Amino acid sequence: MVSAMLSVVFYFIASNTGCGWVYLLSASLLAALLLSLIAPALDVGRVEGTVSAPAKLVAGQRLKVILTLAKRRGFLSRLPVQWLRLSYEFDGCEKTNGGDASQPILVESLNAKTSWLWTTAPLKRGVHHLGALCLASCFPIGLAWWLRRLPARANDTVTVYPKSIPIDGFFLYRLKTSSASRGGLSRTNQVARQSTYTRGVREYVRGDSPRHVHWASSARTGRLLVREFEAEGFPNFDVLLDLEALWTSRGQFELAVTATSSLLALGHRLGIGPQLLTRPAVQELALPLPPVPPGIEFQMEVLARVQPLRRALTGSRSGPQQDLLYGQQKMLVVIRPPSKHAFAEGNCYFIEVEDLERTLADEDSPSLFQTRLHSEEDLIDL
């Protein structure tokens, strides 16, 4: 703006005085102004860029993005591209350090296809779009800046799964032990291991070990009897995450999702194959899930996308023990925030994700086992 005003002033002075060098000064200022507007626009317009990054991460990890720039082919491709400022827009980072941890990159010269590594700040759980490249230039005079955004494709996303903290599952002894059964899914046909506890005796069948023959009972009855042992196994459990609970903070909900992910990983590591139950059901949430087979991968995809929901003000809903605990006869590990609501008795273990800002009275029940979580470190004690 100042250059344009000076050019007009010098032209007015030259037209009244007839001085040639003033005309030359006015023309020089006008030429510099036009060059500062056209040259940066040509530089950023002759560059094409792409963004590539891993498709899957875990919450808290940093995303490493590869930014690639190259000159477009055409009659202007022989002209050099110099002094570009390259930056990257990504909204999936934790805002602890003011956004992205990296600074804009200064591209001094671009003659061939060149790539740079951009590391973001730690990512939050969810599905994030890869964002856009931002090119800016004021070369060669620096009187005007031109900015161009190169957005990533709509399907270029990164899925950030919740954390899965290793836990030992010391609480499982309080649930009922599963027994072996023939056929069915992997959660029910797990081969039980023999314990040292004798349940009784039965008649000998082909394949029984001679070491298990109970000779005293066999001599008394005149039939060959063998000892039958109690089966040792892991209890089946499912995990219920109530999305419509009275969540008081975002951190409380994220801790519940982390606990759910850790319990599911524990169950699959033990060969139980727990199911992920949500309230509302996954079918009612209409989540944009990718086509993955059922199992731990599908459950992690669901946990990467769930969000807390507001409970409807009209109508009443029965407690989770009515339609989930007893309606389907499930043995559940229930995830819920602290509440004074009294649950019905059953074989379930409540993990209460407690907000540090709230203090509630303990709920004692002889048949409902519960523990409280205040942070991710508390999961290790389970």
Task: Give the least confident one: 52-56, 132-136, 150-154, 350-354.
Answer: 350-354
For residue 216, pLDDT beyond 50: yes
What's the 3-state SS for 47-98?
EEEEEECCCEEECCCEEEEEEEEEECCCCCCCCCEEEEEEEEECCCECCCCC
For residue 298, pLDDT beyond 90: yes
Task: Give the least confident one: 129-143, 219-233, 287-301, 359-373.
Answer: 359-373
Confidence grade of residue 234 (pLDDT, cut at 50, 70, 90): low
Structure confidence at residue 18 (pLDDT): 72
For residue 217, pLDDT beyond 50: yes
Tens of pLDDT, residue by residue over 185-207, are 444 444 344 555 566 788 888 77
Residue showing tokens 């975002």: 250
Q: What is the rounded average pLDDT of the residues 63-69? A: 93
Structure confidence at residue 99 (pLDDT): 42
Tens of pLDDT, residue by residue over 14-30, are 777 777 777 777 777 77
Confidence grade of residue 361 (pLDDT, cut at 50, 70, 90): very low
In whole angstroms, give the CA distance from residue 190 to residue 194: 13
Q: How far is CA 212 from CA 104, 194, 196, 220, in A?
A: 75, 12, 11, 16
In whole angstroms, give the CA distance from residue 273 to residue 266: 9
* Cβ atoms < 10 Å from Cβ of 6: 15
Q: What is the rounded average pLDDT of the residues 359-375? A: 58
Higher-confidence position of 299 and 196: 299
Structure confidence at residue 199 (pLDDT): 65
Structure confidence at residue 100 (pLDDT): 47
Yes or no: say if 236 and 151 are a contact pair by the CB < 8 Å rule.
Answer: no
Higher-confidence position of 159 and 77: 159
For residue 145, pLDDT beyond 80: yes
Task: Give the least confident one: 108-112, 113-117, 271-275, 354-358.
Answer: 354-358
Structure confidence at residue 92 (pLDDT): 66
Kindly report the average pLDDT of the chain as a whole number.
Answer: 77
Q: What is the rounded average pLDDT of the residues 325-347? A: 55
Give the up-direction half-sphere exposure of residue 51: CA atoms within 13 A in the CB hemisphere.
27
Give the up-direction half-sphere exposure of residue 344: CA atoms within 13 A in the CB hemisphere.
11
For residue 171, pLDDT beyond 70: yes
Structure confidence at residue 57 (pLDDT): 94
Structure confidence at residue 261 (pLDDT): 94
Most confident of 247-261, 300-314, 324-338: 247-261
Q: What percent of the chain has pLDDT over 90?
A: 27
Q: List residues bridging with 240 in a β-sheet.
A: 277, 334
Tens of pLDDT, residue by residue over 123-142, are 999 999 998 999 999 888 87
Long-range contact pairs involving 290-299 (C-beta distance under 8 Å, separation at least 24): 295/268, 296/264, 296/265, 296/268, 299/264
What's the 3-state SS for 340-364?
CCCCCCCCEEEEEECCCCCCCCCCC
Structure confidence at residue 348 (pLDDT): 75
* Cβ atoms < 10 Å from Cβ of 99: 14
